[in-house]
Amino acid sequence: MAKMNMLQAINDALDIAMAANDRVLCFGEDVGVFGGVFRATSHLQQKYGKDRCFNTPLVEQGIIGFANGLAAQGATPVAEIQFADYIFPAFDQIVNESAKYRYRSGNLFNVGGLTIRAPYGGGIAGGLYHSQSPEAYFAHTPGLKIVVPRNPHQAKGLLLASIHDPNPTLFFEPKRLYRASVGEVPEGEYELPLSEAEIVKEGTDITVLGWGAQMEVIEQAVEQAEKEGISCEVIDLRTILPWDVETVAQSVLKTGRLVVTHEAPLTGGFAGEIAATIQERCFLYLESPIARVTGMDTPFPLVLEKEHLPNHLKVYEAIRESVDF
Amino acid sequence: MTTTKSKVVYSPVFTDGAEFRIPTFKLLKQDGTLYKGGKKPDLDKDKALRIYKAMVMTRVLDERMLAAQRQGRLSFYMQCTGEEAAVIGSAAALDDADMIMAQYREQGALAYRGFTIDEFMNQLFGNELDYGKGRQMPVHYGSSKLNYMTISSPLATQIPQATGYAYGQKLAGDGHCTITYFGEGAASEGDFHAALNMAAVHRVPVIFLCRNNGYAISTPATEQFAADGVAPRAYGYKMDVIRVDGNDILAVHEATKAARKLAVEENRPVLVETMTYRLAAHSSSDDPSGYRSKDEEAVWREKDPILRMQRWLMKHKWWSEDEEKQLQESLRKEVLETMKRAQKRPPPPLESLVTDVYDEVPPSLNRQFEKLKAHIRKYPDAYPKSAGAVSETKKGGA
């Protein structure tokens, strides 16, 4: 075990993947000698050469188009989009191409080797275009996997699993935690399972569900609720698509209450999908309406981002209201 | 760090690029003779006949299948008519192991590689033998064994993918390249520019073959770009470029062969602009009489690439009227017989609705599938294609 922050854990995962398989390539804007604007790809070019870790021109649709072709050819590309806010020029390549390659060819071809890494989320004074959480746009696209880690240990294991998974995977990294989240990370190769939620803490009164940076917020909210005698079961969904309905449903059948929280806006957010599915599975067991604690239906603000974000107080309030319903 | 090495001037000087006039390479005249002073084509009899037969097969298939669409036997069709030399001449200049990433009008390249009429038909009718499992509209062919990437409707998405595919080939060091086809309309998409720039920067063995056929559905090339065609864009990316008469099989073949050499031996990507004409409608859903004249079409019908090659072959005594007649008859017969067979084959199994979305069917999708099967069992008359497969007595399926 070694103490690492999330960036170091991600860098370690990429290093391990590249060392194990010379068909693994890392590329994107500023990814080469500079190691990426957040340094997630530090030293990889020096270690594995310019052919395998390199800068691309500044064109997201090109980066993902190129990555799709590489993956179809049999390589294992790990493409970086500098900020998730800038992934939209590549939307067509991801939604119409990556996601449909296997299906439309009847499995003659696939881009399963593809992993797309992108920092997401607010709380860093990034304003409209350095703060967004676009997971719900992609969650509407069968064929993609979407993974979000909450800490360094999870980041390394889930990223290695994403790289090795035979399906195109979007890996959204909570950039607010890049350096803030530090923890013990096992050395060497290990994977954490995709499409499996993790029960981070068991409880009996209410289920509180989130992913990525929001798990830290949940932890604070739950600490406060537990002081008041509310026993919370905390679940990290980890994979947004295809998501682990069973673990969540089993938990809600037990607790009868559910709070879902994410940074992305309320309307059309993934919490809506979870709420709809869980009410269908657990209708007669629900003690209160499923609550969603999310960003507001606005573009991401700057000066007032604290007001906008679903912080621990708002999550705590939702827990309280649900229990008191 | 700027990379410009241009000279400095001390008053504003504008340039309009007029000095970049790109010539058109031609070898074969419409009467089947070579232009004077033209390079002697490097094409032996076997290869020439393989090319010619693929061209004729493409033409016959296109004629019959458009007719089948008009008769209501087929939902949709797209013809390669008029562009056979541009497509097949270039495909024939490659190694058969090179990758082809086409747009949708390049069935000729697939015919050249050896896709059988039966294989074409199975895709067109989306039956149980269609490699694509009946999931895509007609003409979205693909073949992994023939190194022909499955067609995708969104325009130009294949172009940056070709850059990536070829980069993988370069790293693998197997001496192969990728060719990608697109129309002059698709070249307006952002993906085109991304692809060429990335290929030039990373020195990728890829050939970008533009079929400048004059129209993007109804929009003429003159309303697509103000420049002299697509070719001059290569200068902006510092890429080798050649423009060629797209109805001249010998010139297209020579040009692409030289382009492949640059790509594979020197990792230099190449843009090839073939000047041709879409003699047919955009698709079976289009009617060109709304946007162009019969006179214009007649001019291009005179430049038929197949007839031009046939005359050249006959002048070499490599082909005869009798052989032509026989080929036409046998192809027509094969197309009709194969069509009947393909039309009768059953549709893909119901489970193909949910397979291949991921490598394995996820649990939530399995639940949706079980629900669908129960629904079909309840209303079997409404789902004649699949009711038999889910009936209570029949075990198995998905």
Mean pLDDT across B236-241: 97
In this model, does residue A55 exceed pLDDT 90? yes
- Strand positions, DSSP E, chain B: 24-25, 99-101, 178-183, 206-212, 215-216, 219-220, 240-245, 270-275
Q: What is the pLDDT of residue B392?
A: 63
Helix (H) / strand (E) containing B122: helix B117-125
Contacts of A280 in chain B (CB under 8 A): none
Helix (H) / strand (E) containing A116: strand A115-120
Architecture of the CATH domain A2-185: 3-Layer(aba) Sandwich (3.40)
The verdict on a CB contact (< 8 Å) between B160 and A66 is: yes
In this model, does residue B393 exceed pLDDT 80? no
The total of other beta-carbon atoms located within 10 Å of residue A228's CB is 10
B12 to chain A, any CB pair closer than 8 A? The answer is: no
Of chain B, the percentage scoring pLDDT greater than 70 comes to 97
Whether A2-185 shares its CATH topology with A198-324 is answered: yes
Q: How far apart are the C-alpha atoms of A271 and B298, rounded to whole Å?
A: 61
Q: Which pLDDT band holds residue B83 (cuts at 50, 70, 90)?
A: very high
In this model, does residue B3 exceed pLDDT 70? no
Of chain B, the percentage scoring pLDDT greater than 90 comes to 91
Q: pLDDT tens for residues A101-147?
A: 999 999 999 999 999 999 999 999 999 999 999 999 999 999 999 99
Q: pLDDT tens for residues A246-303?
A: 999 999 999 999 999 999 999 999 999 999 999 999 999 999 999 999 999 999 999 9
Q: What is the mean pLDDT of chain B?
A: 95
Residue B310: C-alpha distances to residues A105, A126, A277, B253 (Å)? 35, 66, 65, 15
Q: Any catalytic annotation for residue B278?
A: yes
| Domain A198-324: which CATH number of 3.40.50.12780, 2.160.10.10, 3.40.50.920, 3.30.1330.60 | 3.40.50.920
Going by the DSSP 8-state scheme, the letter that residue A17 receives in this structure is H
B179 to chain A, any CB pair closer than 8 A? The answer is: no
In this model, does residue A201 exceed pLDDT 90? yes
Chain B residue with minimum CA distance to A242: B362
Q: pLDDT tens for residues B84-102?
A: 999 999 999 999 999 999 9
In this model, does residue A308 exceed pLDDT 50? yes
Q: How far apart are the C-alpha atoms of A194 and A145, rounded to whole Å?
A: 9
CB B348 within 8 A of CB B126: yes
Q: Which pLDDT band holds residue B394 (cuts at 50, 70, 90)?
A: very low
CB A162 within 8 A of CB A187: no
Q: Which pLDDT band holds residue B4 (cuts at 50, 70, 90)?
A: confident
Domain definitions of chain A by residue range: 2-185, 198-324
Q: pLDDT tens for residues B168-179?
A: 999 999 999 999
Of chain A, the percentage scoring pLDDT greater than 70 comes to 100
In this model, does residue B351 exceed pLDDT 70? yes
Range with lowest mean pLDDT among A195-209, B13-27, B73-87:
B13-27
Select the residue from B1, B128, B167 to test the A interface by mutation, using most A Cβ atoms within 10 A.
B167
Q: What is the pLDDT of residue B346?
A: 96
- A 230-269 → B contacts, CB under 8 A: 242-243, 245-246
Q: Any catalytic annotation for residue A140?
A: no
CB pairs under 8 A between A and B: 156
Domains present along chain B, CATH in parentheses: 24-283+291-344 (3.40.50.970), 350-390 (no CATH)
CB A48 within 8 A of CB A41: no
In this model, does residue B247 exceed pLDDT 90? yes
The verdict on a CB contact (< 8 Å) between A106 and B132 is: yes
Q: In 3-state terms, what secondary structure has residue B182?
A: strand
Q: pLDDT tens for residues A64-94?
A: 999 999 999 999 999 999 999 999 999 999 9
Q: pLDDT tens for residues A148-183?
A: 999 999 999 999 999 999 999 999 999 999 999 999
For the record, the structure tokens of B198 come out as 């990335």
Q: What is the pLDDT of residue A50?
A: 98
